[in-house]
Structure 1
């Protein structure tokens, strides 16, 4: 059986697909992962066009999301994207979801239907509904991201798709970790952190104010050390699964992957959300008692130490360890088996 996994975005969007690909290959499938070279917004047409390609070829397709905020639900409002805010006077969730559908139609409808027409396919009136489909998959952990059932949508929550990372930590990093008490990790992944001009200094000084060492990841924010003191260390790309079990806390932007990795490691978190679904994950971390949700995207000399005090409190560490034991690690395996079972049943039905 051949399977194509199509995605767009940065590592947080691509790595889960790689995890699913690995599990599918273990079950005998031939798999290819298709992803654009960058995460520019224009590339997102791939996301709304993938199902049309499958329709044209007459093959099975499944829509998956790595956070539930793009799935219509009466229990909460949709994401408000930059450049298309919702009217502030509108608070009814169903009305907001209707406005979200209109906005997506305006963004993608013309381009999608032009391409569909050129391939002999009928036009789509509801782009969002078409892309999501009747039974979308939610590839998140049910403890971190519990889905509330709705009569409008039949969601299959598989658990997060986690790709096991067996890479050893660099020797210099291991030496730093071994040289003292667990440090506080600070890293913001693919976020450039434009809201804070001196985020490295603010973060390192906030960590030092708690009597802790700092471990800084460069990332897209290009974080760096602020002086030559030996209580700080800077790293590039690193195995988070191995690292997060050795830190006192994780300060990060709130991407789904980093949030899940820290939760699985039992590391208390400080989430400094920048955009999109990140405020949601910050709220989940705070709500579960496994860390703190920083108020706003720009950490300051006052706000970050306060959040760190919450994360470094003994009771937060205890709670984080307890939640870690509930996080599922088999999401990709569950999804792989489910996908192959569904296709096998459909083939069997077609041959009768």
Structure 2
């Protein structure tokens, strides 16, 4: 049995698939991951022992270009940019996945919507089993949550019926992605689909997030199965310099914003807020390229690091609210300050606040004052106690549960 796992996104999209690929291989399934061919992802998948089949392009520079092109654009221009990029992604990713899927029995797709559409097309053409996966409940049609709002397609003011909003979401996705998907279908001699969302979502969706952090109440609008987050075990030791820094004083506060290009002074604001409380800082450069503001010995900068080992030794974690970082901090019992930027990050910020394990920062651009106020909440004894309690409830077997589910589904359909 061979399964292709596909994604196009940042580290938060790739690392979970490395975990799922490793879990599948532990069950005797041949798994490969199609992901951006950035060097860091190649190293990540090699560490997991899962083969990499590069996607249509590396993602780091591509993401920066898209951010720069959309930064000053109007909502209508951003919508046109999304549609134009969707056509390119569907075509180029289809070609990449056609090669990657050679000999595979199924494809499980995560990441950008047009990338998943390409995976569905490849599965359809090859007669393979297809399944969509997602890392957050908000992307799934449900009467319990509103759909994501896209540029140029705002949700109507005053409408509180989520079912009606999800009906509107079908039209939005058709408007943004329909031409890209059906244009490529036409090039393959296939008839158009009327509902591209239903086409990409498929019959059943794999929800790969922790049920305590992101509970799924169920929905009659979609069939979804929740397995828990896909966590790749990390046995790498912390660098000697970082270990010496951690040992030299009280627990520091970790600051990292991953691949999100927050304001350049975000790192400085965080350091000022942390210093004002008499604490030390571990600052992650990340794709945001945050840097130290001086050479004082109360700050230590790191590159890509074993978060599982580090988060157990910090007083709090300040981050952007990616699903993976949120889960890693929660698993380590570290209180969180989440500064949400885009996508599902506001959801994870709200959940951290609702669970009492940290604070949701008000707005995407942090200042020393705003972070100081949020840290006050996260560093309170009750938040620490609550974070320690929640840590014991975070599932660590999500990848294994998903692997077993996929094997069962494939065995059932092959009979």
Q: 1:325 and 1:260 mapped to 2: Cα distance?
A: 12
Aligned residue for 1:309?
Answer: 376
Instruction: Quote how far apart the aligned CAs of 1:83 are.
Output: 4.3
Gaps of 5+ in 1: none
In structure 2, the partner of 1:138 is 207
Which residue is 2:145 aligned to? 76
TM-score (norm 2): 0.81
Cα-to-partner distance string for 1:14-48 (whole Å, 9 max, x where unaligned) = 11111110011111111111123115663342221
Q: Is the 8 A contact 1:158 1:334 kept in 2?
A: yes
Tell whether the 8 Å contact from 2:142 to 2:220 is kept in structure 1 after alignment: no
Structure 1 segment 169-248 matched on structure 2, within 5 A: 169-193=238-262, 196-248=263-315
| Separation of aligned partners in 1, 2:258 and 2:146 | 26
Between stretches 97-106 and 112-121, larger displacement belongs to 112-121
- Indicate yes or no: 2:236 matched with 1:167: yes
Distance 1:93 1:346 in 2: 34
| Counterpart contact for 1:81–1:276, Cα < 8 Å | no
Q: 1:122 aligns with which of 185, 191, 210?
A: 191
Residue range with higher mean Cα deviation, 21-30 or 265-274: 21-30
The answer on whether the counterparts of 1:48 and 1:108 sit within 8 Å (CA) in structure 2 is no
Q: Measure, in 2, the Cα distance between the counterparts of 1:109 and 1:298.
A: 34
Distance of 1:16 and 1:285 partners within structure 2: 21
The CA deviation at 1:10 is 0.3
Structure 1 CA distance for aligned equivalents of residues 398 and 149 of structure 2 = 28
Aligned match of 2:367: 300
Cα distance in 2 for partners of 1:101, 1:319 equals 39
Report deviation, 1:114.
2.1
Distance in 1 separating the partners of 2:194 and 2:277:
55
2:334 corresponding residue in structure 1 = 267
Partners of 2:143 and 2:131 lie apart in 1 by 23
User: What is the CA–CA distance in structure 2 between the aligned matches of 1:140 and 1:90, rounded to whole Å?
Assistant: 28
Q: Distance in 2 between matches of 1:143 and 1:81?
A: 28
Matches of 1:118 and 1:342 in 2, distance apart? 31
- The farther-off stretch of 47-56 and 182-191 is 47-56
2-structure distance, mates of 1:203, 1:82: 30
Number of equivalenced pairs: 346
- Is 1:87 aligned to residue 167 of structure 2? no
Cα deviation for residue 135 of structure 1 reads 1.4
User: How far apart, in 1, do the equivalents of 2:224 and 2:264 lie?
Assistant: 41
Q: Which residue of 2 aligns with 1:330?
A: 397
For normalisation by structure 1, the TM-score amounts to 0.95
Contact 1:254 1:272 in 2 (8 A): yes
Matched, 1:99 2:171: no
Decide whether the 8 Å contact of 1:56 with 1:121 is kept in 2. no
For 2:153 and 2:285, locate their aligned partners in 1 and report how far apart those are by CA, in whole Å.
Answer: 31
Counterpart mapping for 1:14-33 below 5 A: 14-33=14-33
CA distance in 2, matches of 1:66, 1:300: 29
Match of 1:147 among 203, 208, 216: 216
Q: How much is the aligned-residue C-alpha RMSD, in angstroms?
A: 1.3
Q: CA offsets, 1:149-203, max 9 Å, x none?
A: 122222100100111111111110000000000100000000110xx34112211
